[in-house]
Amino acid sequence: MMTFIKLGWRNIWRHRRRSLVVISSIGIGVFAMMFSAGFMNGMNMQMVENTISTSLGHIAVHSKGFQENMKLEFNFNADRNMLGKIDRTPRVKAWAPRVKMQAMVRSSESSRGVMIVGIDPGREKNVSKIYDYTRKEDGSHFITGRNTDEILISREMAEKLDLLVGDRLVVMLQDKHNEIIGTGLRVCGLYETPVNSYDRFVVFTGIEKLQSMNGMGANISEISVLLNDKKDVDAVKSSLVAGIDEGSLEILSWKDMAPGLVRSIRLFDTMMFIFFAIIFMTVVFSIANTLIMAIMERFHEIGVMKSIGTGPMRIFFMIIFEAFNLGLIGVVAGIVVGMALNFVLSYTGIDLSLYQESMRVWGTGSVIYPIIRFIDIVNAVIIVFFTTFIAALYPAVKAARIKPLEALHFI
Amino acid sequence: MSIIAIKALVKDYDVNGIAVNAVRGIDMTIDKGEFTAIAGPSGSGKTTLLNIVGGLDYPTSGSVVVGDRDLSGMSSSELSDMRLNNIGFIFQAYNLIPVLSALENVEYILLLQGVSKKERQDRAREILIEVGLEKEISRLPKDMSGGQQQRVAVARAIVSEPEIILADEPTANLDQKTGANLLDLMHELNRKKNITFLFSTHDSMVMERAERLIQLSDGMIASDEKRR
């Protein structure tokens, strides 16, 4: 077999230029695949990270039914025992209690439906990036206490409501007695996350302030839990289910809470495969064309090989090895160049500030940092060798079927 | 003892709807160790006869027995095995594998036969030395003269020690001196190893050197002369 691998290798260098063209087409295909996979992974990762860091956390503890319907009645009491167990759960980095409910905010100019989130500012800083996303100049600052008359809104919402830092707005919500109550709060700061839908809809105030407004006492809607590593989500979720759930709680991972995001990532992955398929369809024809040309040129030579006793299977594998060699060089070249570019771009990022608004809709941020996963390399290798095999199949069968006598007369 | 027995051999071709009778009823036997030339003008059927004996073509009717095998009942893969194990070929245009060195070209047949690497390298080297190509062992065909390439082809044909060597106009592309040297070599191998040689030729020098000369004309035997 080694001799036929050697024959395949030497044969591809008989027409160096032609082989280099095919190798280049495979290499460019792999490079395009690596680049687009890296870009898409980066986008997906940033989309997930931004969603986790702004709203979801890795894991959330809710009262049963809250995820389906954010009604005030779906609240629970997070006693010391429960919080202690969360604190002691391995791989948990931080947690923060939240009260979440639908409300309406009204300025002198306009009003909007919002989700108001009551937070513990000290703990929230460790769990989400809302603190980091809050402007800290021109008087804008984060919520300063659990029970202050402060409200933190997004820059976009401030523009829509025509509000500045220091202005007052009215929050209207339904309390536990189903009474509509209105409370005036002062805008303490403006934030801006990379997630457009979040900025349009979410405002923050102190947790105790919101609890006193809605009358739910010390109860909360959610405990958001942040882990040291996203990989551990399923394991930690299981520990929390076993440790604190007595039947009335639901403990959800970010995937459970954002099924739309998971579906989007799957959709992107599918789109990538379609893209790869289109790239490699062209590669198939390029390889097949080259091999058919090579076989026609070596028609006589293959006839001689068959006439001196080379079996059809050996001729078949010789051609397959030629294609394999072309694919191998192409895939190595494509991976090396693709990895090098991804490595550089993973530090510099790809700046898409020109499309900032569109990127905010996706929640990715305007600078994408490509990420190459090991599975992407494995996929590239599998796709190239599969494609190469498919491309070589017809020429190899054709070569194996050459009749020696016909070929001997062919000059 | 005959090693090739041909009975009532007929081969017709259809060329663009016109029937061409390439071989028209040949009967002959070739004994082991013979050094036989089949001569005749172009179109007399000598290459067709050689192709059928070598299992590269099927007869229209009649039988060809090589050793104890009747070729008419054999499949293409059985014929391929027979060519590999029992017959050596020498072609007019040398027909070496261009990407393999002289040694690798000779080794190739042994590789197909499943001989171990060391043994096939030793045997191929030995044969190349025997045909006078000690210095050309590592050269590619493109770096050798026509005569040297034909010697490699001879070495390739004999390395597996086949019963028969079929040579289709082996000296046609060589100058007279190189052709004579090649004939000397083949004759010596014929005597030393008792290999049966069957040539097709229209080279008078080959005809003169042959121990048996069969003349073909219009697909039939015109004369059959044993000189020794």
Interchain proximity A7–B98, CB inside 8 Å: no
Q: Which residue does chain B place closest to A305, by CA atoms?
A: B97
CA distance A128 to A204: 12
Phi, psi (rounded to 5 degrees) for B44: -80, -10
CA distance A350 to A372: 14
Of B91, B95, B111, the CB nearest to A3: B111
CA distance B92 to B146: 11
Tell me the chain B residues in contact with residue A308 when contact means C-beta distances shorter than 8 Å.
Answer: 83-84, 89, 108-109, 112, 156
Tell me the chain A residues in contact with residue B165 when contact means C-beta distances shorter than 8 Å.
Answer: none
Domain residue limits, chain B: 35-58+73-226
On the question of pLDDT at B38 being above 80, the answer is yes
Of A307, A309, A404, the CB nearest to B112: A309
pLDDT tens for chain A, residues 1 to 411: 777 787 778 888 888 888 898 889 889 988 988 999 999 999 888 888 888 888 888 999 988 888 888 888 888 888 888 888 888 888 999 999 999 999 999 988 889 999 999 999 999 999 999 999 999 988 899 999 999 999 999 999 999 999 999 999 999 999 888 889 999 999 999 999 888 888 999 999 999 999 999 888 888 999 999 999 988 989 998 888 887 766 788 889 998 888 888 898 888 888 888 888 888 888 888 888 888 888 888 888 888 888 888 888 888 988 898 888 888 999 999 999 999 999 999 999 898 888 877 777 777 778 899 999 898 889 888 888 888 888 889 889 988 888 887 777 654
Of B51, B98, B112, the CB nearest to A310: B112
CA distance B204 to chain A (A): 24
Q: What percent of chain B has pLDDT over 70?
A: 100
Interchain proximity B56–A7, CB inside 8 Å: no
Tell me the chain A residues in contact with residue B77 when contact means C-beta distances shorter than 8 Å.
Answer: 311-312
Among B80, B82, B165, most A C-beta atoms within 10 A, so best to mutate, is B80
Of B57, B84, B108, the CB nearest to A405: B57
CA distance A158 to A359: 21
Tell me the chain A residues in contact with residue B79 when contact means C-beta distances shorter than 8 Å.
Answer: none
Note the pLDDT of residue A157. 93
Interchain proximity B56–A300, CB inside 8 Å: no
Tell me the chain B residues in contact with residue A307 when contact means C-beta distances shorter than 8 Å.
Answer: 54, 56, 83, 89
Of B84, B91, B99, the CB nearest to A14: B99
Residue B225, strand partner residues? B213
B36 near B197, Cβ under 8 Å?
Answer: yes
Tell me the chain B residues in contact with residue A306 when contact means C-beta distances shorter than 8 Å.
Answer: 80
On the question of pLDDT at B1 being above 80, the answer is no
Tokens of B157: 């044909």
Tell me if chain B has a CB within 8 Å of the CB of A259: no
Note the pLDDT of residue B155. 87
ipTM over 0.85: no
Tell me the chain B residues in contact with residue A309 when contact means C-beta distances shorter than 8 Å.
Answer: 80-81, 83-85, 109, 112
Cα-Cα-Cα-Cα torsion B67, B72, B75, B79, nearest 10 degrees, comes to 40
Query: How many inter-chain contacts (A to B, CB under 8 Å) are there?
Result: 53
CA distance A192 to A137: 13
On the question of pLDDT at B90 being above 60, the answer is yes
Phi, psi (rounded to 5 degrees) for B4: -130, 125
Tell me if chain B has a CB within 8 Å of the CB of A308: yes
A175 near A213, Cβ under 8 Å?
Answer: yes
CA distance A308 to chain B (A): 6
Instruction: Give the dihedral sign, CA A279/A280/A286/A289.
Output: negative
Interface of A with B in 9-68 (CB under 8 A): 10-11, 14
Phi, psi (rounded to 5 degrees) for B41: -70, 170
Domain spanning B35-58+73-226: CATH 2.40.50.100: no
Of B80, B89, B99, the CB nearest to A311: B80
Interface of A with B in 262-301 (CB under 8 A): 300-301
Of A10, A300, A309, the CB nearest to B99: A10
CA distance A162 to A204: 18
Interchain proximity B57–A408, CB inside 8 Å: no
Domain residue limits, chain A: 2-51+261-408, 65-246
Q: What is the DSSP string of A163-182?
A: --TT-EEEEEEE-TTS-EEE
Interchain proximity B91–A304, CB inside 8 Å: yes
Of B56, B93, B98, the CB nearest to A405: B56
On the question of pLDDT at B78 being above 90, the answer is no
Interchain proximity B108–A3, CB inside 8 Å: yes
On the question of pLDDT at B98 being above 60, the answer is yes
Q: Which residue does chain B place closest to A300, by CA atoms?
A: B95
Note the pLDDT of residue A121. 94
CA distance A338 to A4: 31
CA distance A314 to A232: 51
Among A14, A299, A307, most B C-beta atoms within 10 A, so best to mutate, is A307
Note the pLDDT of residue A411. 47
> What does the pLDDT average to over B58-66?
90
